[in-house]
Structure 1
Amino acid sequence: MNNYVVGMGEALWDVLPEGKKIGGAPANFAYHVSQFGLPSCVVSAVGEDALGKEIVDNFTSKGLNQLIAEVPYPTGTVQVEIDQAGVPQYEIKENVAWDNIPYTAHLESLAEKTRAVCFGSLAQRNVVSRNTINRFLDAMPQNDDTLVVFDVNLRQGFYNKEILCNSMKRCNILKINDEELVTVSRMFGYPGIDLQDKCWILLGKYNLKMLILTCGINGSYVFTPGNVSFQPTPKVEVADTVGAGDSFTAAFISSILKGKSVAEAHSLAVQTSAFVCTRKGAMPILPEELTTA
């Protein structure tokens, strides 16, 4: 098939006080895309160790297509400590498997059949994976129908202006949250204007098809040239927010690929991420009324 939707980047374990959970935005994104009935694939790397085998087995059990290399580095882990105020503190281990995703003939073949890809800034902290992501983007079909989504994820200082700037030039859809937008604006030297004005500047400067801005409980926006869609955040009983943003992106991109309008896609994305917030973990099974909407 020539229409894969790919999530590319980190695959890891979040090591929490109560135990470990599989983490990584690319797998969350690819899994939810598959629930919307589109062929998806997660691209990453794991170590030649028990933790890596467990990730691969978990994805296999979910029926998730994967192109996950085994490399001579440890499988990625994130140490999560909860402080006295209940706020999590993250320590993302460095020089791990997903920092070293190799560019292979299989990966190039997948790129040539890819209709949409989602990648972030975290997976580009190491030159090996950064080069692989860029080569994958180069090998994808270069036409107006191809969607290249850059989902900004600023973590622990694992980013710089050059990586962000290059990624924004490479993408045609930018997804960013309000806190990240403030950081990016400061880094790029934009004046103290409001968030919406900053979004219009980025949309024009990088010639984007769309810019998605999420603002937590304050709703979300989708900017397209000359238009803006706003959706309030539904009030739900939150179990946890892990993976909610990835499910939003997956629902939105799946809807656009199915030919829905920006407003329809935005509405479904908000409903999907709200549902994910009501369940523990990043990969709950979505209700049929969402996946067939």
Structure 2
Amino acid sequence: MNQIVVGMGEALWDCLPEGKKIGGAPANFAYHVSQFGFDSRVVSAVGADADGDEILEVFAQKGLRTQIERVPYPTGTVQVTLDAMGVPCYEIKEGVAWDNIPFTDELKRLALNTRAVCFGSLAQRNEVSRITINRFLDTMPDCEEQLKIFDINLRQGFYTKEILCDSMRRCNVLKINDEELVTISRIFGYPGIDLQDKCWILLAKYNLKMLILTCGTNGSYVFTPGVVSFQETPRVPVADTVGAGDSFTAAFTSAVLSGKPVQEAHKLAVEVSAYVCTQSGAMPELPQVLKDRI
């Protein structure tokens, strides 16, 4: 089977007070997977505009391989403003290119050769991209080693119970943080149960291979049927936390695909995400000592 690993969903610009930065979890994930030697792809859509040109240029400079369609919608942007207390507020523009990713013959061919894919809930807010993501997942050939990773990203109410349930049925690895787990529990009616028990319930209900729970500075867990791995979060000087979660997912996925045991993969994921926190931006070059672990 081919070793292609895909990050699928939003590609956009975060428009910050100090200027714009490239954003979107799929590219962050695919970039870090490529650093571990895997053939990765970013699947998304951009507009036929200057913002779209620039995104493709940045990805090319990073050596990222893409399957990005040009569509008749503006390239996605997120307006980031700071309130009086300096807390960022996000306005994710709607009706943009990544809401309208088409399912093409090329995308079907890619799905047939994909070993692992990571997708989220934000990119499914519009029906067009949601149908494309689901068709991609359904087209991937079934095999024991394949990973379909649902990295939930609950943003601005751009999700429904139906979308979440459908994605959890289609995935075999669920990645969620402690705040998202509280929200999911409220939607699904699991109140008053501790976080670990909620994770065991979801693992069993959706017949998952793995469930990854990240709890910020309080550590992270990987649940597999009958076994749980826990790793403390390293204390490091933080430059920013942008993309740290995506680098965690990428390192964990790369290690598992390389045949590493879950606990070893988990340890590497924690160390990689801690390193990314010490750097500015979501796509820093990883030290060779981390890359050599795979």
Q: Structure 2-normalised TM-score?
A: 0.99
Alignment-derived partner of residue 6 in structure 1: 6
Cα offsets for 1:146-165 (capped at 9, x unmatched): 10000000000000000000
Alignment-derived partner of residue 39 in structure 2: 39
Alignment-derived partner of residue 232 in structure 1: 232
Q: How does 1:249-260 map to 2 (within 5 A)?
A: 249-260=249-260
- Secondary structure of 1:64's match? coil
Query: Using the alignment, how far apart are the partners of 1:85 and 1:256 within structure 2?
Result: 42
Alignment-derived partner of residue 56 in structure 1: 56
CA apart distance, 1:84: 2.2
CA apart distance, 1:12: 0.1
- Secondary structure of 2:90's match? strand
- State the 4+ residue runs in structure 1 displaced beyond 4 angstroms: none
Alignment-derived partner of residue 25 in structure 1: 25
Q: How does 1:275-290 map to 2 (within 5 A)?
A: 275-290=275-290
Query: Using the alignment, how far apart are the partners of 1:146 and 1:231 within structure 2?
Result: 25
Query: Using the alignment, how far apart are the partners of 1:88 and 1:276 within structure 2?
Result: 20
Cα offsets for 1:98-140 (capped at 9, x unmatched): 0000000000000000000000000000000000000001111
Alignment-derived partner of residue 208 in structure 1: 208
Query: Using the alignment, how far apart are the partners of 1:56 and 1:121 within structure 2?
Result: 23
Q: How does 1:158-197 map to 2 (within 5 A)?
A: 158-197=158-197
- In structure 2, what residue type is equivalent to 1:58? V
Query: Using the alignment, how far apart are the partners of 2:202 and 2:120 within structure 1?
Result: 17
Alignment-derived partner of residue 261 in structure 2: 261
CA apart distance, 1:192: 1.0
Q: Structure 1-normalised TM-score?
A: 0.99
1:135 aligns with 2:111: no
Alignment-derived partner of residue 83 in structure 1: 83
CA apart distance, 1:86: 2.0
Query: Using the alignment, how far apart are the partners of 2:69 and 2:179 within structure 1?
Result: 33
1:92 aligns with 2:78: no
Alignment-derived partner of residue 144 in structure 2: 144
CA apart distance, 1:2: 1.6
Cα offsets for 1:193-219 (capped at 9, x unmatched): 110000000000000000000000000
- In structure 1, what residue type is equivalent to 2:158? F
CA apart distance, 1:191: 2.8
CA apart distance, 1:179: 0.2
- Secondary structure of 1:142's match? coil
Query: Using the alignment, how far apart are the partners of 1:200 and 1:278 within structure 2?
Result: 32
Query: Using the alignment, how far apart are the partners of 1:258 and 1:109 within structure 2?
Result: 23
Query: Using the alignment, how far apart are the partners of 2:290 and 2:2 within structure 1?
Result: 25
Alignment-derived partner of residue 221 in structure 1: 221
Alignment-derived partner of residue 243 in structure 2: 243
Give the length in aligned residue pairs: 293
CA apart distance, 1:145: 1.2
Query: Using the alignment, how far apart are the partners of 1:85 and 1:208 within structure 2?
Result: 41
- In structure 1, what residue type is equivalent to 2:289? E
Query: Using the alignment, how far apart are the partners of 2:22 and 2:243 within structure 1?
Result: 11
- Secondary structure of 2:186's match? helix
CA apart distance, 1:237: 0.5
CA apart distance, 1:65: 0.7
Query: Using the alignment, how far apart are the partners of 2:47 and 2:31 within structure 1?
Result: 21
Alignment-derived partner of residue 121 in structure 1: 121
RMSD of equivalent CA atoms: 0.7
Structure 2: state its 5+ residue gaps.
none
Query: Using the alignment, how far apart are the partners of 1:141 and 1:38 within structure 2?
Result: 19
- Secondary structure of 2:182's match? helix
Query: Using the alignment, how far apart are the partners of 2:87 and 2:260 within structure 1?
Result: 38
Identity, % of aligned positions? 75
Structure 1: state its 5+ residue gaps.
none
CA apart distance, 1:26: 0.2
CA apart distance, 1:141: 1.2
- Secondary structure of 1:156's match? coil
